[in-house]
Amino acid sequence: MRRRGAASATAIRMARVLLPRSRKPVSLFISLAGVLIAFALNATPAMALSLNPDAASPGIEDANTLHWILFVVILAVIVVVNLAILKAARPRSRAVTPKPGRKVSQVKLAIGLGVFALALFVVATVFSDKSREIPAVNAEPVAGQVKGEPLEITATGSQWLWRFNYPNGAFSYRRLTVPAGVTVQLDLVSTDVVHGWNVPELTGKAQAIPGKTNKVYFRADDPGVYTSRSSVLSGQGYDTMEIEVNVVSPEEYEAAIEELKTDIQDAQDKVEAQFKAERDKSEAAADQVGKAETNNDAESAEAE
Amino acid sequence: MSRTTSYPQTMPPTRPEISSDGPEPARTRWAQLATSADHKDIGRILVSVAFGSIFLAALELLLMRAQLAVPENVFLKGVTFDRLLSVYGETAIFLVALPLIIGLLYYVVPLQIGSRTTAIPRVGQTGLWLFIFGGILLYGSFLFTPPEAGINPLPPFSDATFNPNNGVDVWIGSTGLITLGLLMVAIDLLATLHNLRAPGMAWRRAPLFTWAGAIVTWLFVVIAPIFLAAISMLMIDRLYDGGFFAGDEGGSPILWQHLSYIFFTGVYMSVAITFLAAIGEIVQTFTGRELPRKAVTRSFVAIAIIGTLAWTQNMLTVPIPSGWKYFGMLMSLALIVPFGLIFYNLISTVSQSDFHMRAPLRFALGALSLASIGLAAEIAQSTIAVATQLSETYDAWAATHFTLIGFVLFGGFAAVTYWYPKMTGRQLNEDRAAKSFGLMFVGTIIALLPLFAAGVSGQVTDSYRYFSFEDLGVYNLIAGIGTLILFVGIVLAIGNLVASRSEEPAATPDPYRGDSLEWLALSPPPAHNFDVLPDVHSTRPMRDIREAVIRRDAETAAAEDAAPVSA
């Protein structure tokens, strides 16, 4: 115990040499402010008040608006509370005894805080409801879409790849192609572990849980490519479990999934053709062997 | 030390048959500690283990931040990162936060209520050893396979199919032993609280920290069995194909999320209550003013109930009925009322009074500052629309860490420096404490503030690397530097706790002129705590005793003056 104490005391003595000698906490806050300013200057433009830069689906705009409101509220709370703490911690001069402040009724304070909390809840509920609304369904259905219903696509999470099943039977891995201006219902399912579906610009996050279907709705109004990655730890390949959503015009979408379907059919045909060829070959070989065996049998019989 | 006390160092024993000077113990100190069922020994072991584990958790955090400092780093392998992450999470929750709150409560609360012992000491002792074996199991697993399924190992990922090695079994075993052990300690404390209070120590006179002890142990008695049930189901799933959490066999993976998040949210709230109460004690002692007891204790009860009911706040992206999501949101936002009340009362009390800044108060104000940032940031995490954007990112990580580093680390150092003279019998070096506080405070802010920005830019947690095209390098580099500063601060602060024990002068029983009964006992208290059990007549029993002593001294002096000294 004594030796350990001596060792840590030596460490502290070394640190005392390294640290600024000023006893005032001001130096502390100046150094802190310096680091934070350097950080602000170096940060990328996305940092500018730290909100999502893009909202490509109607619901996400509401989420971003709510985030703006809450960001201002949170910043105000943090600034007010911490200024009060700094004021409370100010050094006292012995000559002046502080006046006891006026008594605040705890009940009134609780009611005030309750009204504040309730107001936040109402605002959050309004915006959350709006962001969860199913976007208005397009008038002209695209291929595979029931009129008046959203276009239904299934996203299946597996370790460590997303698979997307389109209504015409085609499927793709990693890259989801969706038509612009069309409301899409994405059914999130999983074949193995919990996966985190995560496309901030279109849907936000939603977990794909085995045995359960999690539905998210979005309508991407402009063509574009949105890349992201899964958000729930799912094993060794988690960091490479990417998602790419490719928003194209409805015509391009129809062409793309038709092409996918024909490609898949072609691949299937090729596999079957190859399988058939191999089976024929092996059957032929087996026949020859059979013939050779019968020949051998015949020869041996003759020999006997 | 401007406020020296005139109070005598030892109370003259009024009942001579009870003396604190017993015969010398026959066994060595470590053997005595290892076999002790005394609440002070058990509490000190728990707190010491917690501080040792703070060092381990900080080291693991530093390694992870070093890996994430630059994009596409190859410092750690993915599996190593996952193991560090899982062990870090378990260390921070089960080896730091829980033993620190339970240990502090178990040490201080029996002294505060004027009890000579705990009600069922053998239960507490058994609990301590279960806890220690849990800790040994977790760190012993580095010899074979440490857990690697994340901070909260969600089934089916934590099932035997996807995690066939022993990592998750170690997680289940160690968290189970630790939770069961601390539950037993909590039960002992609860029985003590309800049965062994000093005469006159009614609930309306009990100190804030005692109130926190009652609320936290009751809460722990509710949530710990839920967690034990959940990990038992996970164990049955893993070892015997139970199917509790298997989606295709009649179970549900969502069940695990409900059960585990009820426990983790309850732990979060226990931590907040315990350290807010400790900060309340510190503020009352150093300012000499009383907090409004009714408002503060009712706020603690509200935090315990409402806060634990807010568990679905963690599940806003999970396919559960949306009613539950709105319920979680309502409960989380309702927490603004109790937290706001307590923060207001603590800060305004400090602001309106005259005091000397000492290490415990410094750490307490730092804790309030950091926790205010984290709790405010949780507002955004609690709303459904924003949570679909920001949950599972470093924004959520930073919010949780601001709150928990604020409460556990700073609140923990505040509480331990405050009760340090009582626990060790030595004073604490104030100068070193102030310096380590500065380093830790600056380090925490630099380590966590950039992560808010990283989270909003879309960096997901639990991933061992990110790519340069994601533009996250700046935030993570600054966070890494901040973590290094924090780590150095933690090492110095722990070093100060160790070094002060051998270097600093002895402490008096009542170094701060505190108001609660733990300051009546000697520093460190003898095995039976008190020679004399006082009658409690008010919420400030120690002040009553001090006044009585002064009165008695004056009476004695007057009597001596009156009686002429015979020559």
Residue A171 sits in the same domain as residue A230: yes
A112 shares its domain with A37: no
- Map out the domains of chain B with their CATH numbers: 35-529+537-549 (1.20.210.10)
- Domain-embedded: residue A299: no
Tally of CB atoms within 10 A around B105: 31
Determine the angle formed by the axes of helices B253-287 and B208-240, rounding to 10 degrees: 160
**A196 — phi, psi (to 5°)?**
-100, 105
CATH of the domain at A239: 2.60.40.420
Quick check: B425 and B523 in contact, CB under 8 A? Answer: yes
Which chain B positions have a beta carbon within 8 Å of A124's beta carbon? 329, 333, 382-386
- Residue A287 inside a domain? The answer is no
Quote the minimal CA–CA distance from A131 to chain B in Å.
6
B483 interaction partners in chain A (CB closer than 8 Å): none
Residue A1, in any domain of the structure? yes
Q: Are residues A242 and A176 in the same domain?
A: yes
Residue-level pLDDT, tens digit, chain B, 567 residues: 344 444 444 555 455 445 555 566 678 888 888 889 999 999 999 999 999 999 999 999 999 999 999 999 999 999 999 999 999 999 999 999 999 999 999 999 999 999 999 999 999 999 999 999 999 999 999 998 999 999 999 989 999 889 998 999 999 999 999 999 999 999 999 999 999 999 999 999 999 999 999 999 999 999 999 999 999 999 999 999 888 998 777 889 999 999 999 999 999 999 999 999 999 999 999 998 999 999 999 999 999 999 999 999 999 999 999 999 999 999 999 999 999 999 999 999 998 888 888 999 999 999 999 999 999 999 999 999 999 999 999 999 999 999 999 999 999 999 999 999 999 999 999 999 999 999 999 999 999 998 988 888 889 999 999 988 888 888 899 899 999 999 999 999 999 999 999 989 999 899 998 999 999 999 899 988 998 888 899 999 999 999 999 999 999 999 888 876 554
Separation between Cα atoms, residue A117 and residue B254, nearest integer Å: 29
A contacts of B319 (beta carbons < 8 Å): 206-207, 209, 212-215
Instruction: Report the Cα B393 to chain-centroid distance in Å.
Output: 25
Residue A158 tokens, joined:
């597996």
The most distant pair of C-alpha atoms in chain B lies apart, rounded to whole Å, by 100
Among B403, B219, B189, B220, CA closest to B301: B219
Residue A32 lies in a domain: yes
Q: How many other β-carbons are positioned within 10 Å of the β-carbon of residue B2? A: 6
Q: Is residue A83 located within the same domain as residue A158?
A: no
For chain A, the maximum distance between any two Cα atoms, rounded to a whole number of angstroms, is: 131
Same domain? For A128 and A165 the reply is: no
CB atoms within 10 A of CB A115: 11
Length of chain B: 567
Tokens 């004021």 correspond to A87
Which letter, b or e, does each residue of B33-50 get, where b requires 16 or more Cβ atoms within 10 Å of its Cβ? eeebbbbbbbbbbbbbbb
Residues A4 and A79 in one domain: no
Same domain? A20 vs A76: no
E-only strand ranges, chain A:
151-158, 161-165, 171-173, 175-179, 183-190, 195-199, 204-208, 214-219, 224-229, 242-248
If asked whether residues A250 and A159 sit together in one domain, one would say: yes
Q: Give the separation between CA B495 and CA B489, rounded to whole angstroms.
A: 10
Dihedral over alpha carbons B32, B37, B40, B41 (to 10 degrees): 30
Predicted local confidence at residue A145, as pLDDT: 87
Residue A215's domain spans which residues?
151-259
Q: What is the pTM of this model?
A: 0.89
Dig out the tokens for A186 from the structure.
């994405």
Q: Which of A44, A63, A84 sits opposite B388 (nearest CB)?
A: A63
Looking at the 3D structure of chain A, how many domains does it have? 3
Cβ-defined contact of A31 to B442 (cutoff 8 Å): yes
Q: Distance (Å, rounded) from C-alpha B23 to C-alpha B470?
A: 69
CB contact under 8 A, A52 and B456: yes
Residues A168 and A255 in one domain: yes
d(CA B452, CA B393): 9
Closest residue of chain B to A129, computed from CA coordinates = B385
The C-alpha angle with vertex B451 and arms to B450 and B452, in degrees rounded to 5, equals: 90
Per-residue pLDDT tens over the stretch A9-37 = 666 665 555 444 444 555 556 666 666 66
Is residue A284 situated within a structural domain? no
Alpha-carbon gap, residue B342 to B335, rounded angstroms:
11
Which chain B residue shows the shortest CA-CA distance from A197?
Answer: B317
- The torsion angles phi and psi of A204, rounded to 5 degrees, stand at 75, -155
Same domain, A74 and A124: yes
CA pair distance B386, B413, nearest whole angstrom: 34
Query: Does B379 contact A99 at a Cβ distance shorter than 8 Å?
Result: no
- Indicate whether A10 and A34 sit together in one domain: yes
